[in-house]
Amino acid sequence: MTPTIFVVDDDDAMRHSLEFLLKSLGQPVACFASAEAFLAAWNPDAPGCLVLDVRMPGMSGLDLQRELNERAATLSIVFISGHGDIPMVVRAMRAGAMDFLEKPFNDQVLLDHVTAGLRKSAKACEAARRAAALRARIDGLTARERAVMGLVALGKPNKVIAFELDISIKTVEVHRAHVMEKMGATSVADLTRMLVEAET
């Protein structure tokens, strides 16, 4: 999917100004007057960067950030505010914001942060898609194959796995071969990397 720049600001003039500026990056720009309107239209699978005002009627920008974090969103967030304070900035940054810009801000600084945010979000989306695909492969394994896979990933030899699961070495070899084939793994190291990636 093409990364989208989202603007959420209840100030009509600021929203239109941001839309005009951000379109210079050549990416789709979608604007919303409230956090609630944004959430109603948001596609969780789409990468993007959110330019977000802090103080708005209803759900605030920080509230929206918390909601997106709870939903494991891959969006990057750049906050803008006419009245930020240190605790507010610290809270936003600790929760993963790209930056916190005070109005009036330098246009080029905003464009640079949004560009970096789009790249970061695209990478996060791709990682999330890979993890979901790997979890689907794991779900396709039998319970016994998952047990064998876990012990193989720990580096245990077949005879130890056979002893721990109370099955024959030959059965371990068969399950191990099935695991490697179904997961598309070429080595134990590759399989281990997949398991780690699936948990992210």
pLDDT at residue number 137: 93
CATH number for 154: 1.10.10.10
Strand partners, 6: 30, 50
Average pLDDT of the residues in 86-114: 91
**Same domain membership, residue 122 and residue 42:** yes
For residue 183, the enclosing domain spans 140-198
Domain count, the chain: 2
Examine the pLDDT at 8 and tell me if it is beyond 80: yes
Distance CA 176, CA 185 (A): 11
**Same domain membership, residue 161 and residue 94:** no
Q: Could you write out the DSSP letters of every residue in 131-155?
A: HHHHHHHHHTS-HHHHHHHHHHHTT
pLDDT digits (tens, 9 = 90+) for 133-176: 999 999 999 999 999 999 999 999 999 999 999 999 999 999 99
135 is a domain residue:
no
pLDDT digits (tens, 9 = 90+) for 172-187: 999 999 999 999 999 9
Nearest to 78 by CA among 104, 117, 107: 117
Domain boundary among 98, 129, 160: 129
Domain boundary among 129, 161, 182: 129
Distance CA 39, CA 67 (A): 9
